[in-house]
Copies of this chain bind each other. A is one copy, B any other.
Amino acid sequence: MISFTCDYNVGAVPEILRRLAETNLIQEPGYGEDSFCLSAKARIRQAVGCPDAEIFFLTGGTQTNATVISAMLKGYEGVISAETGHIGVHEAGAVEFTGHKVLPLPSHQGKILAEELDAYLRRFYADEACSHMVFPGMVYISFPTEYGTIYTQEELTRIREVCLRNSLPLFIDGARLGYGLMSRSSDLDLHELASLCDVFYIGGTKVGALCGEAVVFPAGNAPAHFFTTVKQHGALLAKGRLLGIQFDTLFTDGLYFKISRHVIDMAERLKTIFQKAGIELFIDSPTNQQFVILSPAQMDNLRKEVLFEVWEPLPDGRFVVRFATSWATTEQQLSRLEELLSEC
């Protein structure tokens, strides 16, 4: 079977496994004070172009979202998100568990619009009863979004402007950050992205690592004692080296970007294969998650050799399905998929 179900269905890129083996017996302090973490942080500071950035390594996305959001919100504040945002839908209420409401904005293929954010905030502050309501305390977006789409530099700049006018920190969930940055449609690089938000993270789990997300506070603006907050949220590894080694490897010789570019290349090839086969795109995604529309017959036929994820049923009896490429996706796998599609 060939699996396109997700970008976390195999292990880590070989460079990471090799480095774990090489460093295995080096004795280092725990809890992220090891030399690998220090080196990784230095490399990331350089990659994001922020010499004052503060960086923390956590293990997974839901954990990172809840920890960052609850550390940055006041008790009476909530976090604004597209109604399709990962924090509002697929994190089992992790944000609410920390005591905060997720304030939904309309989703446009996963994205929020600056003007709708602005209108929401104007309405909120104009409401005489607003002191009885949850105050907006930060804005959460994902890049790429849950639908594989990405913000342009102009869109992000305009959202950021609304945030600044309203003193709202902007948080970018970068679980698949590399794929957004390496997308052929992207006009943003990592320096620019870092300069357009208050905090973001560089996803490792879905971009070639075994686990790990690197939270970046570009201006050295981490909340006081954020280390302790990380510990309190159960997000601190005793063997912090596991994260340090991985991110140090990913940010050596641009490996993170090379992986991402390969994954995008495979996704573009995948899209071409679908288009050639006359398969309709549900969303014209510029990143590694491709959403296409298949009939039940097509799905049954493919399933003999291929795994993919059913996203949602359509009224006409067909289905939206998701195919994701990963660091391990190969030309051979795609060629076989192409053959199978031609037989459908």
Contacts and interface: CB of A to CB of B under 8 A. Distances in A.
B234 A233 contact: yes
Interface stretch (A26-34, A192-200, A254-262, A284-292): A26-34
A312 to B, nearest CB: 9
A238 B205 contact: yes
Interface stretch (A90-98, A155-163, A263-271): A90-98
A228 B76 contact: yes
B132 A90 contact: yes
Interface stretch (A5-13, A45-53, A111-119): A5-13
A78 B93 CA distance: 8
A241 interface: yes
Interface residues of A, number: 81
A107 to B, nearest CB: 15
Contact of A231 (B64, B89, B96, B132): B132
Judged by DSSP, the binding face of A is loop
B14 A24 contact: yes
Interface string A48-78: 0000000000011111111100110011101
Nearest to A240: B8
Nearest to A70: B75
Enumerate the 6 nearest inter-chain pairs by beta-carbon distance, A residue then B residue, closest first: A63-B234, A11-B24, A92-B232, A93-B134, A3-B27, A92-B231
19 contacts: A10-B26, A11-B20, A11-B25, A21-B21, A27-B328, A74-B224, A75-B229, A76-B228, A78-B93, A89-B133, A92-B131, A92-B134, A93-B100, A93-B134, A93-B232, A135-B228, A205-B237, A211-B211, A234-B234
